[in-house]
Chain A
């Protein structure tokens, strides 16, 4: 199975900060990568697909980049609603896998 590793596991930031989360794949997945946001007690919400495609309705402060094995999720200016846990997911293989998650906390 393809392993997905996110860093950092926890990130402390303030409103207005630029935030970057990294996701690394154990083998090349081209751009078959999605990012999700999850808040406590809620289902995950799709943010980005194909590494950089913004899902409809998602604010433009969210962006993604990367290909192959290294990917990033960037929040250009952190808003109060953005404090949550973020997951990457690879769908290059039939056995799809998630990263372990990055929790974005209030500094």
Chain B
């Protein structure tokens, strides 16, 4: 069974940093691209970033470019999102989502349960 388990969320002050993790199991992690998708309270889904299966290609939404960095450790079956210069508008539930293919473009066939990031003083 495919499982994606996010962790690392919490309360952080504006301008602060946080690193999210997503532990994957039940599939060959190194064969699939993976994304972060977020959802602000009461709002819709916003794609944040994607990394290819090998880690060689990464893409970001304009809203986080230059502040967030996506990475992966295929030896640990883990996806990361390093977030810097956090703003109130980054407050959201952050989901880890597995893409159906190895390349960075694709639909998300499995999702984690999400981790809440709250940016507030």
B59 close to A94 (CB less than 8 A): yes
Provide the main secondary structure of the chain A interface.
loop
In chain A between 83 and 107, which residues have their CB closer than 8 angstroms to a CB of chain B? 87, 89, 91-101
> What's the minimum C-beta distance from A91 to chain B, rounded to whole angstroms?
5
B55 at the interface (CB under 8 A from A): no
A98 close to B46 (CB less than 8 A): yes
A34 close to B105 (CB less than 8 A): no
Q: A94-B59, A95-B61 are in contact. Are A46 and B45 (CB under 8 A)?
A: no
A49 at the interface (CB under 8 A from B): yes
CA distance A44 to B109 in the complex (A): 10
A82 at the interface (CB under 8 A from B): no
- The 8 Å CB contact of B47, one of A46, A55, A92, A95, is A95
Using CB atoms, name the residue of chain A closest to B106: A91
